[in-house]
Structure 1
């Protein structure tokens, strides 16, 4: 395939140089419009779907009647950067890397896909019904786009995700699950000098939860907990009536997580003092994505890579992605097929320029392989 890295970087730059953090509607709209135009220019059908305050998303397909979907591809346009970041740190080139907010996660992944589709034989594309979902809210667990994601996943046979590939060259065949909670404690206010040891302090109750959560993380296998936010109380001589905490759990076993979730709900119903009121609210959830049902799909990707002389290495990702959501439908899924990069969500976020073409070639070869491969029906069944 004919490839000019300068032209590639020129096409990527306008996407990177737009602030489009989650909920930045103006930026999300601008980037979404650019992506929409690019896919329409290669003859693909694009329709928008609303994601509330997260802005617009895109469903892109190559066939009018794309049911069932042979291949579902997931990408996103939002970043985790605040407004003004793109102005202060526009895309730049230094040595072998291209830097910029969202360049790896995952604007380069979208451009890689465009390049792969542009140079894929039309006869191969005609053999596949492909749907591409572009979300505007991946960095808040696809809170508003998950309805469309689930709808497409139920119709799909297989899925690949354009999240960032690792610098070590690994692709992702599993990811840890994530659950985010908010807990509100309501006790009874009183003067600290008058209640003694009978106080009903929201802060004291919250503190017990922190200790118990840390203990749970030690007791349960492969579960991590992080209490990232606490707030409450007004004065040192006043018993705190209200307190709030927020924490996240990371886990590899959905079975163990369900048991742990039940434990948390039991805690919320049995405070240390009768007058205490506790409200537990799960704000976000992504089940663990494991590689148990992915073996044959991974082998197909290995065959495509082998046809290019590329080695294939696998790992399980620590962070969750939209792969977790589609895998919950029993869908065979491969993640990490975006650009190869590092230092995500930091001022050092970058992609490896020399790895751009090999990754585009892999996407192209993988699509060609799937177009000529028979899809095992059992892979589309719900686990």
Structure 2
């Protein structure tokens, strides 16, 4: 990051105020599995949004929508946030919120309570001078577990938006914006065979584990990493005892693809798998949960605008395509989408999770300009 002697406005946000708001959210533990904790985060954010004269709406499934100056004169700018984290209750006892030098540590700081705070302070900096059509912000309860209850709200809002700004964190270390994401698939393969004594009558058994082993190799052979397709067989369970031909086995498959066509190819191949032993039955569940977020024309234009604004503000910002998914995967096929506009830092889902305080203000200023100018 390079500095300019006279960076253009907006003025730097109040870092101490942002830090206080971040602490307030982080010290509300909000794992995806706890609607009460998630609701407490949403209540805090709603209070801040109402202080900015935002209109709050509770949507079915737990998502909250905040409108700022939305008047129907044009399509609004959509900001995506989520209140849930991956951290279970009790994490604060071993990972308390703390500031060490230019880093603020704690569960959910980077992913993505820092992004929520960034969005609210960017909106505050606009001082009620909303862009034409206004700003709509969604705060969802279940991004970390696949957005089952919120996906419909996200897609509906994206269809009516002129641009979508996702305040997930920038890429760790490089602090680049996220200009694309792989599509994400999660499959479950369950095998049901025939149990038998492994010593006395092995021929009467039909091993579910043997069939699962063949299938593991088959699904991993579908990977084409040279074009961004990865397939990984993960958690596997099977068998009942060492001297029993196993009647049951199951495993999970993680799929990442760069294009929808690749997602369809891998999905069709997994669904077409058949056990070699006709006595074994296979059940396939799941599928492609998040479509690929491709670096299309709309995202290219938003990213170019972000780079130009950053240069005016006195720093440079890059862009990267990443493997992890976000709610931006749902919006990218529907509206121009730019991701990674939250709080810079590192350690998503890890014990060293933190926000970089020395870089946060610049990214909030960038977000403020984007909201006002896209």
TM-score by length of 1: 0.90
Q: Which of 141, 145, 166 matches 1:140?
A: 145
For the pair 1:34 / 2:44, whether they are aligned, the reply is yes
CA distance in 1, matches of 2:112, 2:271: 36
For residues 75-114 of structure 1, what are the structure 2 equivalents within 5 Å? 75-114=81-120
Question: Is 2:263–2:288's contact at 8 Å kept on the other side of the alignment?
Answer: no
* CA shift for structure 1 position 292: 2.1
1:152 matched residue in structure 2: 157
* CA shift for structure 1 position 198: 6.2
Q: Which of 235, 238, 245 matches 1:239?
A: 245
Question: Is 1:75–1:135's contact at 8 Å kept on the other side of the alignment?
Answer: yes
For the pair 1:351 / 2:361, whether they are aligned, the reply is no
* CA shift for structure 1 position 214: 2.3
CA distance in 2, matches of 1:126, 1:17: 33
CA distance in 2, matches of 1:149, 1:91: 30
Question: Is 1:72–1:158's contact at 8 Å kept on the other side of the alignment?
Answer: yes
For the pair 1:364 / 2:368, whether they are aligned, the reply is yes
CA distance in 2, matches of 1:20, 1:254: 33
CA distance in 1, matches of 2:111, 2:234: 23
Q: Tell me, which stretches of 5 or more residues in structure 2 are unaligned? A: 1-10
Question: Is 2:232–2:253's contact at 8 Å kept on the other side of the alignment?
Answer: yes
For residues 164-179 of structure 1, what are the structure 2 equivalents within 5 Å? 164-166=169-171, 167-179=173-185
Instruction: Report the secondary structure of 1:116's partner residue.
Output: helix
Change (3 A) 1:94 1:367: same
* CA shift for structure 1 position 196: 4.0
* CA shift for structure 1 position 98: 0.3
For residues 274-313 of structure 1, what are the structure 2 equivalents within 5 Å? 274-282=278-286, 285-293=289-297, 294-313=299-318
Q: How many residues align?
A: 362
Change (3 A) 1:66 1:236: farther
1:375 matched residue in structure 2: none
Q: Which of 10, 16, 27 matches 1:17?
A: 27
Once structures 1 and 2 are overlaid, which stretch shifts more, 70-79 or 291-300? 291-300
CA distance in 1, matches of 2:131, 2:228: 44
2:6 matched residue in structure 1: none
Which structure shows the bigger proportion of residues in helix conformation? 1
CA distance in 2, matches of 1:201, 1:219: 31
2:18 matched residue in structure 1: 8
* CA shift for structure 1 position 195: 4.2
Change (3 A) 1:50 1:292: same
Give a deviation string over 1:70-125, Cα, whole Å, max 9, x none: 311101111101111123322101111000000010111111111111111433x0
CA distance in 1, matches of 2:13, 2:292: 38
Question: Is 2:267–2:287's contact at 8 Å kept on the other side of the alignment?
Answer: no
* CA shift for structure 1 position 147: 1.4
* CA shift for structure 1 position 24: 1.2
Q: Quote the RMSD (CA, aligned, Å).
A: 1.9
Instruction: Report the secondary structure of 1:163's partner residue.
Output: coil
TM-score by length of 2: 0.92
Change (3 A) 1:325 1:131: same
Q: Which of 326, 330, 336 matches 1:325?
A: 330
* CA shift for structure 1 position 168: 1.4
Change (3 A) 1:319 1:196: same
Instruction: Report the secondary structure of 2:227's partner residue.
Output: coil
Question: Is 2:110–2:343's contact at 8 Å kept on the other side of the alignment?
Answer: yes
CA distance in 1, matches of 2:59, 2:90: 27
1:45 matched residue in structure 2: 55
1:184 matched residue in structure 2: 190
* CA shift for structure 1 position 50: 3.1
* CA shift for structure 1 position 64: 5.2
Question: Is 2:219–2:270's contact at 8 Å kept on the other side of the alignment?
Answer: no
CA distance in 2, matches of 1:186, 1:8: 54
Instruction: Report the secondary structure of 1:119's partner residue.
Output: helix
